[in-house]
Amino acid sequence: MTASLRLDKITADNVLAACDLAVRPDQQGFVAPVARSLAEAYAQPDIAWPRLIVDGDRLVGFVMAFFDVRFHPEDPDDRPRSGLWRLAVAAGEQGRGYGRFAVEAVCEEIRRRGGTRVTVTWKQGETGPEDFYLKLGFRLTGELSGDEVVGERDLTGAHGILPAPRVAGRSR
């Protein structure tokens, strides 16, 4: 990673490059294509926070957060959650800390908005992201969201929290 690592907003100038971003073939069953994520963000702009992971002038990944979503709205005790909706690091860019940077940037944005927990869901499987999320301090909650497990990380303590990353283009 370089000092020029940042998150950028999706714009007319970078949207096609974003849609071309692809993970390794063995990971494609674990994360939706960026184009689908952008369509979902467009349809739900009040909860979606899509960003490109950029190193210098290179697009290396995509991350999308969600804010204040109730997983079970029919349950009056269900609390709103914020967290990581999608994460995709380009096939040739993996293993360089870009995913970790993106997760920490999402955590920082959640803290900035007053949140104290970050939620993520993932499909379990041999080449899936479970080990990655567990190493970053997420703990399984025992819940399911569709066919995905739910993990959460506490943002209030010092355990597992890294220095805040530089995030370009922050906006609600």
Of the pLDDT bands very low, low, confident and very high (cuts 50, 70, 90), residue 157 is confident
Q: What whole-number distance in Å separates Cα of residue 123 and Cα of residue 104?
A: 21
Residue 84 Ramachandran class (φ > 0 left, ψ -120 to 50 alpha, else beta): beta
Q: What whole-number percentage of the chain has pLDDT above 70?
A: 90
Predicted confidence at residue 158, as pLDDT, reads 55
| Confidence tier at 132 by pLDDT (50, 70, 90) | very high
pLDDT band at 131 (very low <50, low <70, confident <90, very high): very high
pLDDT greater at residue 146 or residue 162: 146
Residue 153 pairs in a beta bridge with 118
Query: 91-123 in b/e burial notation, b at 16+ Cβ within 10 A?
Result: eebbebebbbbbbbbbbbbbbeeebeebbbbbe
pLDDT of 144 above 50: yes
Please write the tens of the pLDDT for every residue from 14-68.
Answer: 999 999 999 999 999 999 999 999 999 999 999 999 999 999 999 999 999 999 9
88 pLDDT more than 60: yes
For position 116, what pLDDT does the model report? 96
Residues with Cβ within 8 Å of 161's Cβ and at least 6 positions away in sequence, in order, are 107, 137, 155
The whole-number pLDDT of residue 2 equals 60
What pLDDT, on the 0 to 100 scale, is given for residue 72? 87
Q: 117-122 and 81-89 as β-strands: parallel, antiparallel, unpaired?
A: parallel
